Amino acid sequence: MREFVDVLISQFVRNRKRWLVVLLSLSAIGCRQQMDKQPKYLPLEKSGFFADGRASRPLVEGTVARGHLEAGVLLYTGLRQPADDDSPTSKPTGIAPPPSVPTTPITRPFNPDDMALYVDQLPLPVTAELLDRGQQRYMIFCAVCHDAHGTGRGVVVRRGFSPPPSYDVERLRNVPVGYIFEIVTHGYGSMPSHAQQIPPRDRWAIAAYVKALQLSQFVPLDDLPAADQQLVRANLTPAAGK
């Protein structure tokens, strides 16, 4: 008997990891049985408790999915708030103040032909980081059609896609920055909506970068640093004797 016990002990010592796995598995099975048999509803299962017969209950009114709280008309639409249409803050003043949570949503439909609907100010501070982000996103999502300089001769256009207008045309140079944001959001003509691919803050970064592209082609000479002004004037002055 003693020898038999010694053999069992030696077998257990040599295979203790295997025995531990067996014991843990048995304990897990016992726990699962208790949890698996508890009263509960599966997703979309029929219920006899609720009057509508549905186990999955409707969301509470006003519920917002995590990460999808669109608090701020300006940040998420590019539209001027109706109450502010005639206020001084609705005029082009550069950077807009932080958007407030609207009490009533804007119900005006998207209208790319009515420039009065769109803000001419950014809801984000204009920084080098914002423009760098806009350039990065622009090169990923926009340059394939609009090309790196915004002239509308991207690689897919050269292969037969409908060409977009150049950003340098007077009509587009004069549009509010909110208009550019909304075009990226909704699309226009052959351009599809990019709302699913590009989050709102990145759309504003792209809009700011597009405005920077336009400015780079039409910046007044007097706005350049002195050294750059001299360089431009030297290149514009005809050489002597010619």
Q: Which of 176, 174, 186, 187 has its CA nearest to residue 116?
A: 176
Measured CA to CA in angstroms, residue 169 lies from 175, 196, 200, 207, 223 at distances of 11, 28, 26, 16, 21
pLDDT for the residue 138: 97
Which H or E run includes 94?
strand 94-95
Note down pLDDT in tens along the chain; length 242 residues. Answer: 666 556 556 665 566 666 666 666 656 555 556 666 778 888 888 988 889 998 888 888 888 878 777 666 678 888 886 544 444 333 333 444 444 433 333 444 566 677 888 888 898 999 999 999 999 999 999 999 999 999 999 999 999 999 999 999 999 999 999 999 999 999 988 999 999 999 999 999 999 999 999 988 888 888 888 888 888 888 876 654 44
Q: pLDDT tens digits, residue range 148-161?
A: 999 999 999 999 99
Local structure of 46: helix, strand or coil: strand
